[in-house]
Amino acid sequence: MARVLRIINRFNLGGPTHNAAYLTRFLPDDFETRLVGGMWDPTEEGSKHILEGLGVEPVILPEMRRDIAPWRDREAYRRIKAMIREFRPDIVHTHASKAGAIGRLAAADMGVRAIVHTFHGHVFHSYFGRVRTSVYKNIERFLARRSSRIIAISERQREELVNEHQICPPEKVSVIPLGFDLTRFREDQDTKRRLFRHVYGVADDEIAVGIIGRLVPIKDHDLFIEALHRVSRTTGKRIRAFVVGDGEERDRLQQRARELGLTQVQGPVFNGHG
């Protein structure tokens, strides 16, 4: 039986957690999988309900967190090496940047035969300045040379990794889109639309638009708010906007919406998770 040690940055609410949890739960029975991850930030929603719903019992590393902290990162590295020594995985599969760095270094040091990394996103633009971004690119190139396979979640991401940022050669990258069951979102759409408009009091002459995602800079909610402002200003239409999510940018985005007078066009309505 092949053993897979799967390592993720942190168990926050988001796509990577869903993907890692599904892979852990639904790999064929001839694989034994252990899921390891760090703690979510205080500003984030946790994903404990996702893991419990799938019957997945992860190993949580409190030392592995989003921010760079040498002492904690070194301790997370030490603990992952100890897990590799005990679990003896045939494959170490890491997800996202922090887990990808610590996990791949530990796996390479322990002589793991197959080291796989999935890029759910990257920090090669829109996060940091040019110097810091260059440092992160060089780190990822170093890690890619120690990886057996790199997984991109889209053809566009593969293009970025191979050509735009030159992280790894094309022969090392496979494209595997994230798999999510969208059936429940596609069924009875007209009924759900009417119910939604009724529950939230959206009038027949109002246009309802929405955006779903963490309220963090990389999601660029400013663009969404600016688009609302332009549409309301140029068309005169009544608009209700639903911003579904939460995060560190919430207060600033609400203030920006007020500055643009968007409260006068029935929105935006900021709804947190749950």
The ranges assigned to domains in the chain are 2-175, 183-271
Instruction: Decide whether 2-175 matches 183-271 in CATH topology.
Output: yes
Query: What was the pLDDT predicted at 193?
Result: 92
At 114, the pLDDT band (50, 70, 90 cuts) reads very high
Class of domain 2-175: alpha beta
pTM of the model: 0.79
Query: What was the pLDDT predicted at 91?
Result: 98
- Which superfamily does 183-271 belong to? Glycogen Phosphorylase B; (3.40.50.2000)
246 with 252: CB under 8 angstroms?
no
Query: What was the pLDDT predicted at 171?
Result: 97
Query: What was the pLDDT predicted at 27?
Result: 92
